[in-house]
Every structure is written in structure tokens, then in C-alpha cells.
């Protein structure tokens, strides 16, 4: 089953796998082992739910294209401070959301997702204001 999970991680864009892949595998392996010891029904339900959630999130990350995940790297000194802050806010919310999902705190993940959507819209507006488009920093 863990092999299947590793294969399904390939559905995510490469950059997301690079940043979050090992953490996702670690959480999956730990939780998978815990659930397996609680009986076949609990284990099978966990596997089905997690695989479905992974496939859905991977699809969302691909459909959302460059707007879905923000990765901050490289020299960002050329950007206005409010754009940098907006990018950092989006990145922090993505990290919080991934952590919440990994911890099975789905209400918190949903809250982070809603906040992330608002923060992305603000970032999009700021990038438009400064005629930046979807330049580096959006991966």
C-alpha cells in the first residue's frame, strides 16, 4: 500500500513533490501503521479516504496551475515589499494547510484553504498593480 501511495505522489507537480513529498510519505507511513493495527475496516477506510484525498488534491494542484502553490526562492529583492509579504503569507498558509491535512485536522485545513484563496487573490491583485504577471515565485 505504501508503494501505491508513493506512486500516486507522482500525480503532484514536481516542485510540490520536492518540497512536501518526504513529509507526506513519512506521515502516511506512520498513520498507515497505526490504522493497520486497528482492524481491517478502519485500515481499509483510512486507505480509501487518504488515496481519494491525495488524488483530489493532486488534481487541484495541476488544474490550478501556477496559481495553486507559491514557492519562494531565488533573489526576490527586486519586488515591492507588499508583494513579498503577500507571497510569504500565501506560502505560510500553504504550509499550515499541509500540516493540518497531515495531522487530520480537516476543519483547520479548510480554514487555511479559505484564507489561502483570499491571500492568493490579494497577491494576484498586487502583482497586477505592479505589472508583474506570474513571474518567478509562483511555481
Q: What is the CATH number of domain 67-139?
A: 1.20.58
pTM score, whole prediction: 0.48
Q: What is the residue-level pLDDT of the chain in tens, covering all 139 positions?
A: 778 888 888 888 887 788 788 888 888 888 888 888 888 888 888 888 888 888 888 877 776 544 344 444 444 567 888 988 888 888 888 878 877 787 777 888 888 888 999 999 999 999 899 888 764 444 3
C-alpha cell at 113: 484553504
Express each pLDDT in 101-121 by its tens digit.
877 778 888 888 889 999 999
Let me know: does 33 contact 83? Beta carbons within 8 Å: no
Express each pLDDT in 91-104 by its tens digit.
888 878 877 787 77
Apex 47 CA angle, 42 and 48, nearest 5: 100
CA dihedral 58, 63, 64, 68 (to 10 degrees): 20
Let me know: does 133 contact 93? Beta carbons within 8 Å: no
Amino acid at each position: 500500500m505504501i508503494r501505491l501511495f508513493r506512486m500516486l505522489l507522482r500525480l503532484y507537480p514536481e516542485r510540490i513533490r520536492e518540497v512536501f513529498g518526504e513529509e507526506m510519505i513519512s506521515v502516511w507511513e506512520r498513520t498507515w501503521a497505526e490504522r493497520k493495527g486497528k482492524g481491517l475496516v478502519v485500515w481499509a477506510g483510512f486507505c480509501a479516504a487518504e488515496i481519494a484525498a491525495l488524488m483530489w488534491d493532486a488534481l487541484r494542484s495541476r488544474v490550478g496551475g501556477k496559481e495553486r502553490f507559491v514557492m519562494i526562492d531565488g533573489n526576490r529583492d527586486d519586488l515591492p515589499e507588499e508583494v513579498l509579504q503577500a507571497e510569504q503569507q500565501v506560502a505560510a498558509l500553504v504550509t499550515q494547510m499541509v500540516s493540518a491535512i497531515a495531522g487530520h485536522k480537516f476543519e483547520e485545513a479548510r480554514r487555511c484553504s479559505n484564507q489561502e484563496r483570499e491571500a492568493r487573490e490579494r497577491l494576484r491583485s498586487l502583482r497586477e498593480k505592479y505589472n508583474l504577471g506570474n513571474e518567478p515565485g509562483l511555481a
